[in-house]
Chains A and B, each alone.
Chain A
Amino acid sequence: MTNSKLKLGIRMGAYGGVATIYLCLVGIIETFSDRDIITGIISLGHTLLFLTALVTGYLNMQQVDKLINPAHQVVEKAPKPKDTIHSAVAGIITGISLVILVLVLDRFNIRDMLVNASPKLFELLLLEKGVTPTMVSLLPFGQGLAAGMLRLVVFSTVLGLVGGTLYLLPPTRRRSIMLGIAMVVLLGLLSDLMRIALNKPGWSEGFYKLIYTGRGLSSQGAVITLVATAAITSAWRYIPDSYTRVISVITAWLPTWIRITLASLLSVSLLLRLAWFLGIENVYPPILPDCPGLITSNISLTNCTEWISQGLSAPQESTEGGLASSAPAVSAAITLADSLMLLGIAASIFLLLVRTVQMSMSSDIQKWPAPPLQKLERAQRLVTLYLGVAALLFIPGVVGVYPSEVLVMVGLYVVMGLGLNIVVGMAGLLDLGYVAFFAVGAYSMAVLTTVDASVGGAQLSFWGALPLVVVITGIAGLLVGAPVLRMRGDYLAIVTLGFGEIARFLALSDWFKPALGGAQGIIKIPDIHIGGVEFVGPQKLYYLILVSCLIAYFITARLKDSRVGRAWGAMREDEQVADVMGVNTTAYKLLAFAMGALIASVSGAIFAAKLGTIYPHSFNVQVSITALGLLIVGGIGSLPGVVVGAFALVGLPELLREFSEYRMLFYGAAMVIMMLVRPQGLLPSARRGHKLQGNERDQDDWMRIAAESEAAGSESSG
């Protein structure tokens, strides 16, 4: 047994070594070493390097656990602390692999072939670069090649040991430590975003200075993050409870009229703020909390009017003032609403305090009585909804321009993902050329609205063109759907991929150049207007995208539970049976393609108007793969999954500029890993698509045969 555990350790160590060398040679370590996680202590590149050793140790212990305790039932057979020695062995082997890499880099020049085998990588591996000089002098074993190699092995061993120990910890503690590390890495990664969002006068600046230096987390920031995460994870299960309790106290003890007044005052204040925000004509509106403060921050009429007069005195090109001309009035109204609300809140807190004092004075033991359950639930739902809507509406103002831009991209992909979800998730048709519909939407919007005389000529407004765009793309969906009606799943995938490529070839070709502009694309696509409000800049476009996301979400959610959705589901599970049961599979397939297409067209149309210029190169296969990838990561068929997937696959890489080079690598790996480990996705839909999950009866006959032969194989071998 010990022998096999040792072998396991060596094997896992070798895997870890191969993985680390891969990360080094592909260039990830080197690229990421420019970004500090904790300033002066560790960069992202080194974090990855060390995390592989840590993960190797952890996985090794998991494998040891499986080896000695296959059924996971006998408690006495759980791995003992002394088993961590095998994790250490895995760490040693990982370290030795890296030492071999260092030696190769030292002796041979392989840079002609492997571009990333650079001197910088060499220095990074010896831990001589990417850390401050003071840190280097603190490192054990001093300078030099031999010392560096020894250090690599020792560090890997220790990290392997730590990884193994981590697996042995009780689950709650393990989770809080792992989340803490993840949180430190995440916050370190988001340091740029945080600088934009937080580093401005006010309380946020102090907070920013505490946690971050200019480049990454500060060391005290890392410690605070770790401790705070650990504290929050251990307190996590009490939070929903206290939230409910607060709401129950409020619903039970505050008179209804106070609650309604407060809520409506808050709404008025929020809406006025929104109107003001949309109304000012600056392309990049400044951050909202700088103007009339939210409930917590400074409220002063002078501050605000001063600010707005500055905004108004700035040079303005267009005269259609919209709400901006009445800005002082609006700001006065906002301040009034805010003050009234604060007064109301103070009054209610006072009331509640009086209540508490009364109760503690009385001999009656009974404390806060709970309101009726139904009422409580309704109140809770309302409050959550209210807070959610308020948060959604105020994100762009709070976070600033660049994060809003990221949110806009995420939103475009959410819309696309929701459309693709109809085709792939609901109807079970794997469409790899979804970008074609996005492109048709963008191009038809561009052709219909552009003011460039060489192409198009209709020169409609965005809203005039949108219905036409939707219809055109819907027809394109039918045209793509019709030929592939009788194709089986995997052929359909490849053919739709082909259609996506054809769309790009045609847009690029001389043949369609008079209509679509060829490789130069279409320029001068006008911006989107509603009344006097011009949707320019990511912070305003955000609202448009938000609305289209909500509409798309509503449509798909309603479709899912409708007769159409059930027909799609039946078709997805078994086309022949669905056909026999009276589902018109031809019509429903076409409908799925058309619905998917017209949702994508909205995304494409906004994309075109957002950029103002479109090129064929924006519509390559990567867009389709990204849309499919976010479905897979979120869970095929699951609507919240689309949102989660879009944030994970589009939002995160947008925030990390170094990441862009490895984005597709990350998507590909995510798809493979999800399929291998968790085919149902992060947020699986309740009614699962069995085409992608093997746990139900499978429709293909060969599958059944394969499963049986597998069973037969295991019987004969066992």
Chain B
Amino acid sequence: MLRNALERFSWVAFLLWCLRIGVIALVVWGASATLLSGRYSASNWISLIVAGLAQGSVYALIALGYSLVYGILLMINFAHGEVFMAGCFTAYFAARALESSGYLAKHPLLTIGALLIVSMAVSTIVAVLLERLAYRPLRNAPRLVPLITAIGASFVLQYTFRGLYGSGFSAYPTFDILRGRWMVAGASIQIVQVVVFISALLLMAVLYWFVERTKTGKSMRAVSEDKEIAALMGIDVNRVILVTFAIGGLLAGAAGVLRGLYQPQGISAFMGFIPGLKAFTAAVLGGIGNIPGAMLGGIFLGVFESIGPNLVLEGLGIPGANQLRDAIAIVMLVFVLIFRPQGILGEKLSEEKA
């Protein structure tokens, strides 16, 4: 018995277990230290969580794009963050034009609708072009080839939009109807955060209905199950893949406008890189290829990122904890990939998928 266990002992596994225990201990220690110190009240936490929900729902919308594409092509569309940026950045110009013409002040809701249409259209076009020009010719290439292409495409898109729209940072106009705050249980909550969260949920519900109930959705699921059999069943695989990229683009475009609503500043050609990386983390966290997983992962990541610096890092006594907010997502990605590569909702994938 003991000999058996000794024979199966591996240093890598041992170290990984140590790491796992260490991380959990650190998180628990930091969290309890903060909570015991009573530095933040319950209403602080509620505000942080609501902000995290809004941020997380945007991550979730982008993450769906990664997840859908991964589910079908088993490929990380690294340039998806730039698809998000393209929509958001273009809609910014529409927003500014509508603001200066006074239309925004008169019909704010219609303006948001128009921005959504512009942003979603641009993102969809970029996503479809990306698939058509960069990925389709490499459909049967070894796995790292499309990944390298995607990285290259990501930089091409960043610098193309920088060239087209200029290199400065811009800000969305503010909407008066979204400006207020609600008081809930002593915590003040920004209306815009609630609006963003609910719109994102609505979009996800539509997506879920589309994938589960429509014929195209069914063919998407079939292709993700097995491309060969799906083709034999009369499904046009190339069309389905194109539709998948288009849907990813639509969601990313919507995410772009929502981001512009609750966080108007910092619109530039490089705004897509970090959200893209985080959305990928969210997709992996939820179980990549899994639609509810991406939603859940996004929201979980958003909330954790929102409360994490204050809850864990400050408890550990790290100065300037909020500077490390972006690092949290990446550290989380590393730990998820080490300890649970299938994510929260992902089933135990077979070797070839995981």
Contact = CB atoms under 8 A, between A and B. Distances in A.
Interface stretch (B108-116, B149-157, B292-300): B149-157
Given A116-B164, A490-B144, A505-B326, A702 B74 contact: yes
B136 to A, nearest CB: 10
Contacts of B205: none
B276 to A, nearest CB: 10
B148 A430 contact: yes
B281 to A, nearest CB: 8
Interface residues of B, number: 64
A610 to B, nearest CB: 26
A483 interface: yes
B144 A491 contact: no
B152 A670 contact: yes
A508 B322 CA distance: 12
Interface stretch (A25-33, A273-281, A292-300): A25-33
B345 to A, nearest CB: 17
Nearest to A662: B159
Contacts of B157: 668
A665 interface: yes
A693 B140 CA distance: 11
B338 A486 contact: yes
B138 A430 contact: no
Contacts of A482: 12, 15
A508 B325 CA distance: 12
Interface string A13-44: 00000000010011110000000000000000
B156 A672 contact: yes
Interface in A466-505: 482-491, 493-495, 497-499, 501-502, 505
Nearest to A432: B151
A483 B19 contact: yes
Interface stretch (A213-221, A313-321, A706-714): A706-714
Contacts of B142: 690-694, 698, 700, 703
B51 interface: no
A559 interface: no
A608 B159 CA distance: 28
Interface stretch (A107-115, A203-211, A532-540, A643-651): A107-115
A676 interface: yes
A483 B334 contact: yes
B156 A694 contact: no
B12 A485 contact: yes
A386 to B, nearest CB: 40
Task: Pick the 8 closest A-B CB pairs, nearest first.
Answer: A671-B152, A510-B320, A668-B155, A26-B163, A498-B330, A665-B159, A709-B228, A668-B156
Interface of A: 22, 25-28, 112-116, 430, 432, 482-491, 493-495, 497-499, 501-502, 505-506, 508-511, 513, 586, 621, 625, 628-629, 632, 661-662, 664-665, 667-672, 675-676, 679, 690-694, 698, 700-703, 705-710, 712-713
19 contacts: A26-B160, A27-B163, A28-B163, A115-B164, A491-B341, A494-B78, A498-B330, A502-B330, A506-B324, A665-B160, A668-B153, A668-B158, A671-B148, A671-B149, A671-B151, A693-B142, A694-B141, A701-B352, A709-B228
Given A669-B156, A676-B137, 11 more contacts: A112-B93, A113-B165, A115-B165, A489-B144, A508-B323, A510-B323, A628-B148, A675-B152, A692-B144, A694-B142, A698-B142
